[in-house]
């Protein structure tokens, strides 16, 4: 069986109701109070990007060591 045939077989035999709410009451996960920079993971990702840039690091080293 080729990869395409396996994917087709898996998609046709998959129980798609497993990933749908199917009328269940769901709790909102976005909207006021649910999105933004509340979580520190966003800030950590931003800081990783900032500290990985050469221009920021060179200025930080200059400030620190004069």
Report the pLDDT averaged over residues 32-54: 75
Instruction: Tell if the pTM clears 0.85, that is, is over it.
Output: no
Predicted local distance difference test score (pLDDT) of residue 52: 86
Predicted local distance difference test score (pLDDT) of residue 1: 84
Q: How many helices (H) and strands (E) does the chain have?
A: 3, 0
Predicted local distance difference test score (pLDDT) of residue 41: 77
Question: Average model confidence (pLDDT) for the chain?
Answer: 77
How many residues in the chain? 66
SS3 1: coil
Domain ranges of the chain: 36-66
Task: Specify whether the CB–CB gap between 53 and 46 falls below 8 A.
Answer: no
């Amino acid at each position: 069986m080729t990869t395409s045939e396996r994917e087709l077989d898996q998609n046709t035999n998959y129980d798609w109701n497993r990933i749908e709410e199917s009328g269940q009451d769901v709790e909102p996960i976005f909207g006021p109070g649910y999105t933004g920079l509340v979580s520190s993971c966003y800030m950590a990702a931003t800081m990783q990007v900032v500290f990985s840039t050469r221009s920021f690091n060179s200025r930080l080293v200059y400030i620190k060591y004069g």
